[in-house]
């Protein structure tokens, strides 16, 4: 397995020339790096005008490894080849390092770059990337990898300290300024091997744009103290998102939450974050705070709200659960509205964390929740109410990890253990550790509420003096309940009527939809997200109508949804090229990718959009595996592949201009507005974002 490292941008508030002078003082050896035993120059060359200097060194490293391992390997030191390319004209230094020892067993590479700060030419930026691939090492591959990563992480942490140490040395020597390089006359050329072409020795590092980079000071200020390897994981995941998701990317704090939740497992974090972004897009969560109006009944009877901050500066949310008529709220509003309310609370919490980070000048990326359980009774054990609570937990766990800093539950009644037994298996273990439960009046006095919330902000109903502007709750009048007919017609769609549809694809059972085209030159458009597994996407045309289950049609364009059983539209007796034809090249869509495309129809007839299973996806376990039928209704089956798609047909007269003007465009997790319907100004595409 290849281990990779990507540093944040480290900024030195000193000119480039002074930083390079400080860097060069570490050679031939540096007392601040005990493992760096020695180095010798094996090659040195300079361009004719003196602007480019290339130095190659052989460096000796005394790795901190068990003596037995060194004896088995038959070595005392490791040797690396370091190539430094200094471009005085461009003011850059590129450092490339490769291992010489065990190069047939281990591939270790590093690339560092010193450059001028893009916004202040008196400052210097530093970046580094590295990779390690231990192919074989006498049966000790895992140990060798751990030792190497530990040693590398230690040297990274010392990097800035070493530069600062040598800057101080230069200052003591009276060197406070070094002039920039200027072209010299031929007589001023420094002797040595000349470089004929500057380009031969000008090495570049492939990096993202300046806007994509994270500054080390920014990470410390807004995200907290991370280890070098944690910083690397954050930066790599952030870059992957920016490359894959050309549209709006999640904020750095939110990305970090997924990494923390998975103990900085890059692949697992990427998978979970990808699924969450798909969910956010499907339900237009990014627009929720601006577009959703809470029903008046929620405003009157939902006894919860934000209330100042805790002692750590975290936003404080108070929920008087015992005073809330969950059964009445569901009878009047449906489970979907309560789920939407929970999502809105979490979105508001994210916003408040950002505000508090700016206000207090330190990273605040989670909040505290205080739950008043006084009044909790058997009415709260109503099965649909528990089902709604478990569903809310599932949504929050999947999409808002590490947002809860602490949960204080006060005045727990005797029935609380029963409810906790039902709910706790669904809550992540790390989240459960943040729960503090107080019975009766145990929360009063030392060790109680005052340890977490300033006395001035303790609500009046908990014995404090602070007025709390939260509804008292109470029973919802039965006159506000929905009618029996309305309850019967209620469906289980999440949050809103999404413009997207979801489908599951099994091996050997493709998912197909039928579109009937009456007029040639109509345009079939689609927007596809692959949330799990890899799929193949095909478009077929047939003059014959496939045998399909009877469904209602929409206008002249019939869309037939085949449900979870995925019946075949393409008759097995049909012959490709005779009974039907492939009209678009097969498109391969990988897990986490989005595809937006269009097809200009050449003939009227029947078009079949088909998604097929392509490769075995990573298995994902459902968290819903407990508590009899209450939880069984929430079980999520594991499918081979899952997609989310939106498709529409544009009539030819609705497309303005020439058909040849339809150009391809790239995007990832495409952002369609709440009321999106592709209009006459729409552009068609046929691309996949990676």
pLDDT confidence of residue 383: 65
Angle CA(7)–CA(13)–CA(19) in degrees, nearest 5?
Answer: 75
pLDDT confidence of residue 674: 26
What's the rounded Cα separation, in Å, for the pair 14 and 153? 25
CB-count burial class (<10 Å; 0-12, 13-18, 19+) for 561: exposed
Sheet of 304-309, strand order: 304-309, 315-319, 367-372, 404-412, 435-439
pLDDT average, residue stretch 437-450: 87
Kind of pairing, strands 605-615 and 581-582?
A: unpaired
Torsion angle (degrees, nearest 10) of CA 549, 550, 556, 560:
-40
Higher pLDDT, 207 or 83: 83
Tokens of 639: 């499918």
Tokens of 452: 């977490």
**Best CA proximity match to 284, nearest among 644, 526, 539, 5:** 644
Confidence of residue 442 (pLDDT cuts 50, 70, 90): confident
Residue 463 is given by DSSP the state T
What's the rounded Cα separation, in Å, for the pair 607 and 594? 22
Confidence of residue 313 (pLDDT cuts 50, 70, 90): very high
Tokens of 4: 């990779």
What's the rounded Cα separation, in Å, for the pair 470 and 486? 30
pLDDT average, residue stretch 246-253: 77
Three-state SS string across 416-443, please?
A: HHHHHHHHHHHCCHHHHCCEEEEECCCC
What's the rounded Cα separation, in Å, for the pair 46 and 84? 12
What's the rounded Cα separation, in Å, for the pair 396 and 316? 17
pLDDT average, residue stretch 431-435: 89
pLDDT average, residue stretch 661-688: 31
- The pLDDT of residue 499 is above 90: no
Higher pLDDT, 186 or 262: 262
Q: Token pair 């944690």 is at which residue?
A: 230
**Best CA proximity match to 552, nearest among 564, 544, 560:** 560
- The pLDDT of residue 178 is above 60: yes
Kind of pairing, strands 36-47 and 193-195?
A: parallel
SS3 at position 339: helix
pLDDT confidence of residue 199: 38
- The pLDDT of residue 687 is above 80: no
**Best CA proximity match to 519, nearest among 632, 603, 444, 457:** 603
Confidence of residue 542 (pLDDT cuts 50, 70, 90): very high
pLDDT average, residue stretch 13-33: 92
Q: Phi and psi (nearest 5°) for 110?
A: -145, 145
Kind of pairing, strands 367-372 and 315-319?
A: parallel
Reported as a single tens digit per residue, the pLDDT across 112-146 is 999 999 889 999 999 999 999 998 888 888 888 88
pLDDT confidence of residue 632: 39
Confidence of residue 485 (pLDDT cuts 50, 70, 90): low
Q: Token pair 């649909």 is at which residue?
A: 384
594 with 688: CB under 8 angstroms? yes
106 with 144: CB under 8 angstroms? yes
Q: What's the whole-model pTM score?
A: 0.62
**Best CA proximity match to 322, nearest among 449, 424, 462:** 462
pLDDT confidence of residue 548: 62
Cβ neighbours for 469, distance < 8 A, ≥ 6 positions apart:
305, 307
3-state helix, strand, coil in the chain (%, to 5): 35, 25, 40
SS3 at position 501: strand
61 with 71: CB under 8 angstroms? no
**φ/ψ bin of 511: left (φ > 0), alpha (ψ from -120 to 50), beta (otherwise):** beta
Task: Quickly list DSSP for 545-591.
Answer: PP-------BTTB-----GGG---SS-TT--BTTTBEE-S--EEE-T
- The pLDDT of residue 382 is above 90: no
Which stretch, 172-186, 313-327, 545-559, has highest mean pLDDT? 313-327
- The pLDDT of residue 570 is above 90: no
**Best CA proximity match to 182, nearest among 116, 89, 52, 85:** 89
Q: Phi and psi (nearest 5°) for 149?
A: -65, -40
pLDDT confidence of residue 246: 58
Side-chain half-sphere CA neighbours of 639 within 13 A: 25
Task: Quickly list DSSP for 282-318.
Answer: HTTGGGHHHH----HHHHHH--EEEEEE-TTS-EEEE
Q: Token pair 């544009």 is at which residue?
A: 650
Tokens of 292: 């959703």
What's the rounded Cα separation, in Å, for the pair 546 and 514? 9
Higher pLDDT, 467 or 441: 467
pLDDT confidence of residue 653: 60
Q: Token pair 């097809």 is at which residue?
A: 599
Please give the share of the chain, as a percent, with pLDDT higher than 90: 40
What's the rounded Cα separation, in Å, for the pair 134 and 176? 44
Q: Please, what is the average pLDDT of the chain?
A: 80
Cβ neighbours for 385, distance < 8 A, ≥ 6 positions apart:
326, 327, 330
Buried b / exposed e along 579-600 (16+ C-beta atoms within 10 A): ebeebbeebebbbbbbbbbbbb
Higher pLDDT, 332 or 664: 332
What's the rounded Cα separation, in Å, for the pair 572 and 365? 55
**Best CA proximity match to 525, nearest among 400, 650, 340:** 650
What's the rounded Cα separation, in Å, for the pair 665 and 656? 18
What's the rounded Cα separation, in Å, for the pair 514 and 605? 10
40 with 166: CB under 8 angstroms? no
Kind of pairing, strands 78-87 and 92-99?
A: antiparallel
- The pLDDT of residue 559 is above 50: no
- The pLDDT of residue 654 is above 90: no
- The pLDDT of residue 617 is above 60: no
- The pLDDT of residue 493 is above 50: no
């Amino acid at each position: 397995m290849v281990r990779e490292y990507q540093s944040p941008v480290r900024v030195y508030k000193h000119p480039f020339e002074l930083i390079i002078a400080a860097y060069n003082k570490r050679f031939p050896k540096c007392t601040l790096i005990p493992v760096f035993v020695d180095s010798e120059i094996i090659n040195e060359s300079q361009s004719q005008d003196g602007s480019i200097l290339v130095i190659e060194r052989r460096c000796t490293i005394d790795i901190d490894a068990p003596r037995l391992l060194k004896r088995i390997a038959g070595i005392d030191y490791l040797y690396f080849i370091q190539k430094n390319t200094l471009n005085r004209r461009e003011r850059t230094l590129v450092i490339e390092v490769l291992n010489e020892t065990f190069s047939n067993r281990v591939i270790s590479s590093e690339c560092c770059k010193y450059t001028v700060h893009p916004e202040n030419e008196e400052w210097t930026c530093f970046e580094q990337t590295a990779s390690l691939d231990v192919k074989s090492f006498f049966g000790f591959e895992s140990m060798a990898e751990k030792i190497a990563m530990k040693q590398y992480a230690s040297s990274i942490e010392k990097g800035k300290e070493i530069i600062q140490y040598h800057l101080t040395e230069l200052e003591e020597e009276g060197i406070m300024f070094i002039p920039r390089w200027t072209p010299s006359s031929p007589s001023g050329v420094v002797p040595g091997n000349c470089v004929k072409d500057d380009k031969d020795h000008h090495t570049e590092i492939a990096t993202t744009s300046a806007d994509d980079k994270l500054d080390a000071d920014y990470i410390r200020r807004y995200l907290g103290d991370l280890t070098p390897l944690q910083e690397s994981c954050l930066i790599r995941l952030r870059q992957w998102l920016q490359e894959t998701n050309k549209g709006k990317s999640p904020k750095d704090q939110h990305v970090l939450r997924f990494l923390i939740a998975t103990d900085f497992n890059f692949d697992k974090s990427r998978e979970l974050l990808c699924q969450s972004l798909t969910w956010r897009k499907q339900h237009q969560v990014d627009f929720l705070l601006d577009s959703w109006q809470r029903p008046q009944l929620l405003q009157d009877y939902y006894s919860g709200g934000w209330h100042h901050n805790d002692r750590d500066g975290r936003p404080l949310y108070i929920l008087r659960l015992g005073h809330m008529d969950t059964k009445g709220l569901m009878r009047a509003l449906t489970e979907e509205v309560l789920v939407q309310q929970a999502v809105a609370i979490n979105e508001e919490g994210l916003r408040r964390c950002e505000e508090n980070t700016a206000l207090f000048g330190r990273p605040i990326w989670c909040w505290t929740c205080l739950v008043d359980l006084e009044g909790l009774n058997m009415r709260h054990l109503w099965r649909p109410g528990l089902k709604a609570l478990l569903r809310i937990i599932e949504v929050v766990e999947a999409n808002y990890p590490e947002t809860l800093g602490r949960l204080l539950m006060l005045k727990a009644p005797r029935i609380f253990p029963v409810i906790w037994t039902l709910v706790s298996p669904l809550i992540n273990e790390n989240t459960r550790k943040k729960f503090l439960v107080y019975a009766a009046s145990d929360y009063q006095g030392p060790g109680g509420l005052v340890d977490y919330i300033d006395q001035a902000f303790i609500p009046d109903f908990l014995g404090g003096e602070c007025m709390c502007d939260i509804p008292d709750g109470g029973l919802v009048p039965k006159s506000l309940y929905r009618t029996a007919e309305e309850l019967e017609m209620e469906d289980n769609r999440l949050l809103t009527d999404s413009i997207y549809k979801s489908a599951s694809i099994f091996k050997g059972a493709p998912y197909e939809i039928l579109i009937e085209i009456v007029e040639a030159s109509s345009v079939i458009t689609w927007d596809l997200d692959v949330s799990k597994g890899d799929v193949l996407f095909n478009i077929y045309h047939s003059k014959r109508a496939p045998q399909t289950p009877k469904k209602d049609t929409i206008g002249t364009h019939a869309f037939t949804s085949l449900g979870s059983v995925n019946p075949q539209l393409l008759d097995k007796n049909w012959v490709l090229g005779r009974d039907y034809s492939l009209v678009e090249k097969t498109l391969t869509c990988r897990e986490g990718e989005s595809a937006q495309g269009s097809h200009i129809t050449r003939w009227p007839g029947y078009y079949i959009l088909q998604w097929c299973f392509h490769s075995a996806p990573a298995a994902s376990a459902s968290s819903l595996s407990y508590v009899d039928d209450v939880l069984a209704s929430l079980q999520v089956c594991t499918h081979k592949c899952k997609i989310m798609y939106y498709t529409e047909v544009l009539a030819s007269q609705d497309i303005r201009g020439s058909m040849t003007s339809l150009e391809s465009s790239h995007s990832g997790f495409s952002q369609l507005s709440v009321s999106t319907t592709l209009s006459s100004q729409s552009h068609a595409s046929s691309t996949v974002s990676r």
